[in-house]
Structure 1
Amino acid sequence: MSKNLISKGVANHLIEIADDQRQITYLHQNKKRNYTYPEEQVQAVTFLKLVLIYGYPVEQVRLLVPIKIGAGRKKEADMVVYSDTACTVPHIVVECKKADASEMEFKEGVAQAYSYACGISKKPMYAWITSGTKNQTFFIGDENTVMTTKPDIPRYGNVGVEAYKYAKGGRKGNEDSLGDNIKQKFFDIETVSESDLTRRFKLAHNALWAGGELNPSTAFDELDKLIFCKIWDERKLRKKGEAYDFQVFNTSLPKNATSEQITRAEHKNSNELFARIKKLYAEGKRQDPEVFKDDIRLKPVKVKAVVGYLEGINLKDTDLDSKGKAFETFMGSYFRGDFGQYFTPRNIVQFIINVLPITNHSRVLDTSCGSGGFLLYTLEKIRKQADEYFENQKGDPENDIAEGADHHRYWHDFVSKKLFGIEINEQIARTAKMNMIIHNDGQTNVIAADGLLKDEALRQRSHNREFKYNSFDFIVTNPPFGSVVKQLEKAYLHQYKLGNKDVSWLDTKNSAVQGRANQSTEVLFIEQCWYFLKEGGTLAIVVPDGILTNSSLQYVRDRIEEWYRIVAVVSMPQTAFAHTGAGVKSSVLFLKKWDKATTESLQSIKDRLKNNIKTTHHYEATIERIEKEKKDIIKAHRGFENTTSETDRKAIAKTPAFKAWKKGIQQKYTNAINQLKTNLHDQYIQQKQIVLPDYSIFMAIAEDIGYDATGKTTPNNELVAIGEALEKFMATL
Structure 2
Amino acid sequence: MDFITGRLMNDTPEEYVRQNVEQSLILEYGYHREQVEVEFPIKVGSGKKRVDLAIFAVGASHTQDNIQLIIETKREGTKRDDRNDGVGQLKSYMASSVNCQYGMWTNGIDRDCLFKSVDAGQHVFLDAIDIPTQGAKKADAPTREYLRAATGQNLLFTFKRCHNYIAGSVGLQKPDAFWELLKLIFCKIEDERSDNEKLEFYVTQSERSSMDLQGRVKARLDRVFRDLVLAKYPTIFKPNEQLEMSGATLAYVVSEMQQYSLLDSPVDVKGIAYEEVVGSNLRGDRGEFFTPRNACRMAVQMINPQANEVILDPSCGTGGFLVTAMNHVLSNIDRKHKNRWSSLRPSPEQQAEWYRERHNYLSNNIYGLDLNPSLVRAAKMNMVMNNDGSGKLFQCNSLEHPHRWPAEGPPPSLLGSVDIIFANPPFGTEITIDDPRILAQYEVGGAWEKTESGFQRRLDRKGEPVLQSSQSPEVLFVERCLQFLKPGGRMAIVLPNGLLNNPGLAYFRQSILRQAQLLAVVDMHRDLFQPRNDTQTSMVLLRKWSEGETAASHGDYPIYMAIADKIGHDKRGNTLNKRAPDGSLLLEHTSRRHRVPGPDGTFEEVEVHTSEAVVDDDLDDIAAAYHAWLTQQMTPARGRGAQGPAT
2:92 matched to 1:96?
no
Q: Equivalent residue for 2:533?
A: 582
Q: 1:318 aligns with which of 258, 262, 265?
A: 265
Q: Check whether the contact 1:190–1:312 (CA below 8 A) recurs between aligned residues.
A: yes
Partners of 2:69 and 2:192 lie apart in 1 by: 36
Q: Check whether the contact 1:248–1:304 (CA below 8 A) recurs between aligned residues.
A: yes
2:94 matched to 1:78?
yes
Indicate how the Cα distance of structure 1 residues 587 and 248 shifts in structure 2: closer, same or farther if over 3 A, else same: same
- SS of equivalent residue, structure 2 residue 312: strand
Q: Check whether the contact 2:286–2:431 (CA below 8 A) recurs between aligned residues.
A: no
Q: Check whether the contact 1:194–1:323 (CA below 8 A) recurs between aligned residues.
A: no
1:23 counterpart letter in structure 2: F
Shift of 1:516: 2.5
Q: Equivalent residue for 2:571?
A: 709
Q: Equivalent residue for 1:166?
A: 142
For residues 290-334 of structure 1, the C-alpha deviation after alignment (integer angstroms, 9 at most, x for no partner) is 223344332332222211111111010111222223323444455
2:233 counterpart letter in structure 1: D
Q: Check whether the contact 2:419–2:485 (CA below 8 A) recurs between aligned residues.
A: yes
1:726 counterpart letter in structure 2: Y
Q: Equivalent residue for 1:478?
A: 424
Alignment of structure 1 residues 656-675 onto 2, 5 Å: none
For residues 14-44 of structure 1, the C-alpha deviation after alignment (integer angstroms, 9 at most, x for no partner) is x573xxx332789xxxxx97342xxx45xx3
Unpaired runs of 5+ residues, structure 1, are 27-31, 53-57, 65-74, 88-92, 136-151, 171-187, 253-258, 603-690
- SS of equivalent residue, structure 1 residue 391: helix
Partners of 2:474 and 2:414 lie apart in 1 by: 20
Partners of 1:409 and 1:99 lie apart in 2 by: 44
Q: Check whether the contact 2:230–2:237 (CA below 8 A) recurs between aligned residues.
A: yes
Unpaired runs of 5+ residues, structure 2, are 1-23, 71-90, 450-455, 579-615, 635-645
Q: Equivalent residue for 1:492?
A: 438
- SS of equivalent residue, structure 1 residue 562: helix
Partners of 2:178 and 2:402 lie apart in 1 by: 31
Q: Check whether the contact 2:175–2:282 (CA below 8 A) recurs between aligned residues.
A: no
Q: Equivalent residue for 1:346?
A: 293
Q: Equivalent residue for 2:128?
A: 129
For residues 653-683 of structure 1, the C-alpha deviation after alignment (integer angstroms, 9 at most, x for no partner) is xxxxxxxxxxxxxxxxxxxxxxxxxxxxxxx
Q: Equivalent residue for 1:542?
A: 494
Q: 1:515 aligns with which of 440, 445, 467?
A: 467
2:149 counterpart letter in structure 1: T
Q: Using the TM superposition, name which of 374-383 and 405-414 deviates more.
A: 405-414
Partners of 2:313 and 2:503 lie apart in 1 by: 29
2:159 matched to 1:201?
yes
- SS of equivalent residue, structure 2 residue 488: strand
2:174 matched to 1:222?
no
Q: 1:248 aligns with which of 195, 203, 228?
A: 203
The structure with more radius of gyration:
1
2:507 counterpart letter in structure 1: Y
2:383 matched to 1:436?
yes
2:468 matched to 1:528?
no
Q: Equivalent residue for 1:213?
A: 171
- SS of equivalent residue, structure 2 residue 471: strand
Shift of 1:479: 0.6
Partners of 2:28 and 2:388 lie apart in 1 by: 33
1:498 counterpart letter in structure 2: V
Which one has the bigger helix percentage? Answer: 1
Alignment of structure 1 residues 208-607 onto 2, 5 Å: 208-210=166-168, 213-238=171-196, 242-248=197-203, 263=211, 265-280=212-227, 283-293=228-238, 294-334=241-281, 341-391=288-338, 402-441=349-388, 443-458=390-405, 460-462=407-409, 464-465=410-411, 468-482=414-428, 483-488=430-435, 491-501=437-447, 504=456, 512-577=464-529, 579-595=530-546, 597-598=548-549
- SS of equivalent residue, structure 2 residue 520: strand
Partners of 1:7 and 1:495 lie apart in 2 by: 60
Shift of 1:455: 3.4
Structure scoring higher RCO (CA < 8 A, sep ≥ 6) equals: 2
Indicate how the Cα distance of structure 1 residues 346 and 396 shifts in structure 2: closer, same or farther if over 3 A, else same: same
Indicate how the Cα distance of structure 1 residues 330 and 473 shifts in structure 2: closer, same or farther if over 3 A, else same: same
Aligned Cα RMSD in Å?
4.3
Q: Check whether the contact 2:567–2:618 (CA below 8 A) recurs between aligned residues.
A: yes
Partners of 1:212 and 1:298 lie apart in 2 by: 7
Indicate how the Cα distance of structure 1 residues 336 and 80 shifts in structure 2: closer, same or farther if over 3 A, else same: farther
For residues 365-408 of structure 1, the C-alpha deviation after alignment (integer angstroms, 9 at most, x for no partner) is 11111221111111221132134213379998865555554444
Q: Check whether the contact 2:380–2:393 (CA below 8 A) recurs between aligned residues.
A: yes
Partners of 2:458 and 2:396 lie apart in 1 by: 40
For residues 551-609 of structure 1, the C-alpha deviation after alignment (integer angstroms, 9 at most, x for no partner) is 222221222122112222222233333x142222222221111245446xx6xxxxxxx
For residues 122-158 of structure 1, the C-alpha deviation after alignment (integer angstroms, 9 at most, x for no partner) is 9xx99552554xx9xxxxxxxxxxxxxxxx9x987x9
Between the aligned residues of both structures, percent identity stands at: 25
For residues 318-354 of structure 1, the C-alpha deviation after alignment (integer angstroms, 9 at most, x for no partner) is 1122222332344445567968833112232111100
Shift of 1:121: 8.6
Q: Check whether the contact 1:564–1:593 (CA below 8 A) recurs between aligned residues.
A: yes
- SS of equivalent residue, structure 1 residue 297: coil
Shift of 1:484: 3.4
For residues 274-293 of structure 1, the C-alpha deviation after alignment (integer angstroms, 9 at most, x for no partner) is 4234325xx32332322233
Q: Check whether the contact 2:564–2:619 (CA below 8 A) recurs between aligned residues.
A: no
Q: Check whether the contact 2:169–2:249 (CA below 8 A) recurs between aligned residues.
A: no
- SS of equivalent residue, structure 2 residue 153: helix
1:566 counterpart letter in structure 2: L
Partners of 2:500 and 2:198 lie apart in 1 by: 59
Indicate how the Cα distance of structure 1 residues 540 and 391 shifts in structure 2: closer, same or farther if over 3 A, else same: same
Q: Check whether the contact 2:423–2:492 (CA below 8 A) recurs between aligned residues.
A: yes
Q: Equivalent residue for 1:190?
A: 148
Q: Check whether the contact 1:366–1:422 (CA below 8 A) recurs between aligned residues.
A: yes
Indicate how the Cα distance of structure 1 residues 271 and 229 shifts in structure 2: closer, same or farther if over 3 A, else same: closer
Partners of 1:423 and 1:319 lie apart in 2 by: 27
2:589 matched to 1:727?
no
Q: Check whether the contact 2:366–2:389 (CA below 8 A) recurs between aligned residues.
A: no
Shift of 1:526: 1.1
2:229 counterpart letter in structure 1: G
Partners of 1:556 and 1:339 lie apart in 2 by: 22
Shift of 1:200: 0.8
Shift of 1:273: 3.0
Partners of 1:192 and 1:205 lie apart in 2 by: 18
Partners of 2:560 and 2:36 lie apart in 1 by: 58
- SS of equivalent residue, structure 1 residue 375: helix
Number of residues of Structure 1 aligned to a counterpart in Structure 2: 534
Partners of 1:535 and 1:393 lie apart in 2 by: 33
- SS of equivalent residue, structure 1 residue 540: strand
